[in-house]
Amino acid sequence: EISDTEILELTHSALGRMTVIRQIFPLWRDSSTRCMRRNHRISSLLCDPQEGYMQNLEVSNLYLYDSVLMLANAFYRKLEDRKWHSMASLNCIRKSTKPWNGGWSMLETIQKFLCVFLCFVSLAVISLTPISQLSSSQSFMRRSLVLKEQERAAA
């Protein structure tokens, strides 16, 4: 668990961007179990009842900002790499518009980006889904992700 203060400190000291995902755990069903506040192993959110809609993690909405920023960066890099003219010069209001030579290449870039992004989101959903609800192929992908994370941490 990470507190609001720790998140703020982390964002102020980080050199790049970061996406913070919060998952609110549901209240214990066993009423005999008492929640102890300030216990470092138990989230304080477990001590207070939460609304049902807040308990589901919506990955697609959380990654929306990152995906738009990544797409904008892909456009910018593509323009810079190919030394194309700015898209602002392509004005469709004029009677005689000139075709943009980089159109097909840009379309390929967008298609590749969307493929990578959709794979990323589906892997994120798999990594957040309880193992009991995964198919065998999804379970294999999740185990592979965990092993890669462990290898990266060990290196």
The pTM score is 0.26
Distance CA 99, CA 155 (A): 49
pLDDT tens-digit map of 32-88: 445 555 544 445 454 555 544 344 444 444 455 566 667 777 777 777 776 655 555
Q: List all residues 6 or more positions away from 98 whose beta carbon is below 8 Å from its beta carbon.
A: 90
The angle subtended at Cα 121 by Cα 115 and Cα 123, nearest 5°, is: 100
Mean pLDDT of 85-113: 62
